[in-house]
Amino acid sequence: MAHDDVLAWLAAHAPDVPVIAPGASTATVAEAAAALGVEPGRIAKSLAMRVNGAALLLVTRGDARLDNQKCKAALGGRPRMLDADETLALTGHAVGGVCPFGLKTALPVWIDVSLRDYATVFPAAGSRETSVELAPARLAALVARGWVDACRLPDDTAPAPGM
């Protein structure tokens, strides 16, 4: 059902964006990168979380990690990841296929600035076997409240405060 919701959402809001079904799992960053033939950073992972009790999605590059201090500064509080059941209940998407399209609940979506490092990125498309390819600016224009700096990159060797 989630994939159908994404297809309907894309047809209404971005009919020019085709769904990619590479014939292999895209459920994890590593699997998606391998299936799509791209580096892990180009996978746009959608993280379902709560900040100060409010649920939201943060879309970031696949090889980035949440930084608690940056997240507090950007979103106003410490992030708490949703479990798989709550993620499914709020987004309509199972973990491994969570994306910012066709959401069951109107959640605020924020895009991490780390995605700007790439000309195009690959968010999931509502299933563990599908994806789409979009420019980060287009992704933000379609779904986001705005850009935030809430993550650190793998080459950032400084430990995150509070970690």
Q: What is the pLDDT along the chain (163 residues), one digit of tens a residue?
A: 588 999 999 999 999 999 999 999 999 999 999 999 999 999 999 999 999 999 999 999 999 999 999 999 999 999 999 999 999 999 999 999 999 999 999 999 999 999 999 999 999 999 999 999 999 999 999 999 999 999 999 876 555 544 4
- Helix (H), strand (E), coil (C) string for the chain: CHHHHHHHHHHHHCCCCCEECCCCCCCCHHHHHHHHCCCHHHEEEEEEEEECCEEEEEEEECCCEECHHHHHHHHCCCEEECCHHHHHHHHCCCCCCCCCCCCCCCCCEEEEHHHHHCCCEEEECCCCCCEECECHHHHHHHHCCEEECCEECCCCCCCCCCC
Domains of the chain: 2-147 (3.90.960.10)
